[in-house]
Amino acid sequence: MITPTLLNNRYKVVRVLGSGGFGETFLAEDTQMPSGRFCVIKQLKPVANNPQVYQLVQERFQREAAILEELGDRKDQIPRLYAYFLENGLFYLVQEYIEGQTLTQKVQQQGVLSEGEVREIIINILPILSFVHSQHMVHRDIKPDNIILRLSDGKPILIDFGAVKETMGTLMTPSGNSTRSIVIGTPGFMPMEQSVGRPLFSSDIYSLGLTAIYLLTGKIPQELATDPATGELRWRHYAMNVSANLAGVLDKAVQQSPRDRYHSTGEMLNALQIPATPPPPPAVTTPPIAPSPPPPSPPPTPSSQNGLGSWQQAVIIGSVIGVFLVGGLWMMQNRNHIIGSDPTDPSPSPTPTASSSPSESVLQTIPTPRKTVFVPISPQPSPTPSPKVTFSQAPTESSVISRSAATKVVRQWLTTKKELFSPPYRKTLGEQLLIGKAYKDNISKTPDPEGCIASGVPEDDCLSSVDWLRKYNAYYTYGVQSLDRVIRFIPRNKQAEIEVVVTEELTFYKNGQRRQTSLNTNNYRYSLRYTNGQIKISDYKKI
């Protein structure tokens, strides 16, 4: 299919975002808006080539578009519908472009998410899903690819509703009745009742539960085993640190039978907001002292009126021994607490550990071992107060760049290039990862490009990579992106160098025309710098 360059005499296609059996999705620029804002255009094609069916599809399409408009206007976590139109027998939806990353991209970039992050995402999605259900609509395609974390505020945005797609699958039976022949949903993320064309509200809950499990484990449903006796998914061993509360909520959400799941989003939300009971703190006890075996009881003797009975003497002797033991333990603890610490600070004294250089030293808390020490007590003159010994506060973040952290930054850079060097050229993503020469080469060579040109420097020499691509209406798309292995890693306190082998497949477009496609494996050297609590790339080059 040839991609048109201008749709509805208004929307300039910038690039293809995706394609499938229903048509294609484009990123486009609205040429009739002063801002030239970006928007997402979904092109939909009916499966039946029949005039009678086409008329029916058109009516249903208009009805579904009206619902999407209401959803987007009333909830800011659903993309707004700007317009819809028909052109050359195809149906088009023009929707708000959400700048951000999908949950799939986030996991690919940074790895699995923490329980707190996942819980927050679910709690923010459930009210939106509740609103959708209140409009008698089932989303039908909830999955990590269809939830975008909006860059401006971090909120999860629910995209790509399945109702309009289902309309495209309308067919006419031999008896003249219409039927919808296409099942909407993604294998693995949709439950059994939806796969046979009978979606329920709890079907969305099932899909959301599997999405949360993916965020916690990095495993898609097809990679998870099931219990042969119960049919339940076995996923907990991939996320051992998840609380019993969240694990139980997700287990119930992904039950095979709808009657065993939560019956509403509100019910699931209430279950999530029940505070998890923290495990009791470990008891701090002194090592038990094994008691001596009791002596054999002597035969009872009459007690003297003037003396103490044997049992009374034993009680007194035992009490005296107990006083000495308690006093000794108290002296030992008090002595360990006072020596080398601030008596007003109840926390253990931090002890610096040796490292390769003073700047790399990290303070660690090492408890003083306790042992019984007998200290003679003798009268002494009051000592001259000695200067108080203090320790510098341990840094909240390590400034030493580790091999794993360096590798992670390089992987993030590979992912970022997909959106930095393609419209809408998201410089904000590059600013989060680049500094120094790498920042200048890719984001902004000079704060005053016009002044640079006026000084006699060739214009292209004043432009960064992103600015050059914008000027010449060019961009790159990426296929395979693989960090194959690390060749060498050299840490230098707050800086490091890492040499890696990278395989990349990229295609260069200019003025909408594909100019070159290549698949290469190259060695790169990345220079990294730790600054403001973050590791950034200061330079890189092919070697």
Q: Hey, how many other C-beta atoms are within 10 angstroms of the C-beta on 57?
A: 22
Q: Is 55 exposed, middle or buried (0-12, 13-18, 19+ CB in 10 A)?
A: exposed
Residues 87 and 431: their CA atoms lie apart, in Å, by 40
How many H-runs (helices) and E-runs (strands) does the chain carry? 14, 19
- What residue type is assigned to position 516 of the chain? Q
Q: What single string gives the DSSP state of each residue in 339-369?
A: TTS-TT--SPPEEE---SSGGG--EEE-PPP
The DSSP H or E segment spanning 66 is helix 51-74
- Given a contact cutoff of 8 angstroms between Cβ atoms, the answer to whether 222 and 214 are in contact is no
Q: How many CA atoms lie within 13 A of 226 on its CB side?
A: 11
Secondary structure of 222-285 as H, E, C letters: HHCEECCCCCCEECHHHCCCCCHHHHHHHHHHCCCCHHHCCCCHHHHHHHHCCCCCCCCCCCCC
Name residues whose C-beta falls within 8 Å of residue 183's C-beta, 6 or more positions apart in sequence: 194, 195, 196, 197
Catalytic residues: 141
Give first-to-last CA distance, the chain, whole Å. Answer: 40
